[in-house]
Structure 1
Amino acid sequence: MGGVEFYCQNYWFDLSNEDDLKKRAAKLSKALSEKQEFVLILDDLWNYFPLKEVGILAREKGCKLILTTRMLDVCRQMECQETIKVKSLPEFEAWQLFQDKLGKPLSLDAMEIAKSIASECAGLPLGIITIAASMRGADDICEWRNALRKLQESKVREGEMENEVFQALKFSYNRLNNSSLQQCFLYCGLYPEDHPIARDNVIEYLIDEGVIRGESRQAKLDEGHTMLTDL
């Protein structure tokens, strides 16, 4: 597990500064054992891990453990007593969300294509929001047709992890239409989830790697900040 922080009866319990895994597990176990009843939520799990190794007393009386994951296998491996599947958005709500994020009315021809694009997102809010945002300002019907074709072509083999999520991500990446922006995106993707990313550090790296070029130091810095703003 990464840094752990949770709210518990009017105080914050923060383990992010403890690097030793055993010490961190011991502190968490002690804090939880002092509570007669508690609910612990583990959000967005991608892999199984033994609860005892991180100090979670899941089988103790008064303990409720809730986890969210996209992987049914994770639920099984974590020995969940009850599994609740969260359904994707129905077609009408998915289309409404797409229109809201697009932010402007479309011509009748473009609207039909846009509905098909929204349908390709399989009711996943993240995919809908991401793709609709990338299509803001698109007026040409050719651009909409091309976007639909590219989105359909971006599908990976059935059975690979989170096909729809990957599909939306790949589509948005290709929509950047700039190799420097794409490299900037990939570099930012190397950071851990929810990790703060310092703009100056990213820009310095991109300058050192030759992604950002300019006649002067200031020109390079300005180009870097412009890229990050665009991204």
Structure 2
Amino acid sequence: MMLLSVAAAVYLAQLSLLLWVAYSEKQFHHYTAAKAATSAGFLLLALLAWLTGSRSLGPRFWLLFGAMVLCAAGDVLLGLANNGRGVHSKTFLKGLVAFGLAHVVFCLFYAALTPPGWYDLLLPLALLAVTAALSKRGLLRLKKLKRPAFCYCFLVGLMCSMAVSSVAVAGLRGPGNLFAAAGSVLFLLSDSIIIFLYFYIRQNRWMRFANLTAYYLGLLLLALSAAF
């Protein structure tokens, strides 16, 4: 566990560096590289947690890891969009698709532990309704990304709902489920913020900080869940 703790500390240092780059006008051209390095960090953490932990996840680990690989791909694509043509570019759409696929695989990861129920649809439908209402009122500038954004909101909510359900159904046996569920909740928080970060009619500087922090801490917890 000492090695895993050191790796987690290095990862947090990477996150701090990424946040500095994100808010530095002189260094922002390194944003994609900084995101890629931090994302590589959570992939290495997940592998290290798996190799040094109890391996109680069994084959489910590869679903978790596969979803995280897709997240890393999405990170790079969104970084390129930020350093390039922006939100309404094809690169951004590809990043959104990568994250959408990641959420599908995360859902499969949770479904392998506890089968989904009708109640898992409540949160995603609520998120979809809120996003649609904000878009209709002109508070979100989704343009061509309207349908992809709606699909993405649904998948984000479904992933979080299934994560919480897995804890409720499987119980509090060991910290692994709790880490994974907490990571998914932070992921939901991050994705809720990202809608406003990129599409809200008014931009606030704190949003990028909140989005990146919630996202990368969520991935940290998901990676560490593989150790238990």
Shorter-chain TM-score tier: under 0.3
Which protein has the larger Cα radius of gyration, Structure 1 or Structure 2? 1
TM-score, normalised by the number of residues in structure 1: 0.26
TM-score, normalised by the number of residues in structure 2: 0.26
Higher relative contact order (CA 8 A, sep 6+): 2
More strand by share: 1
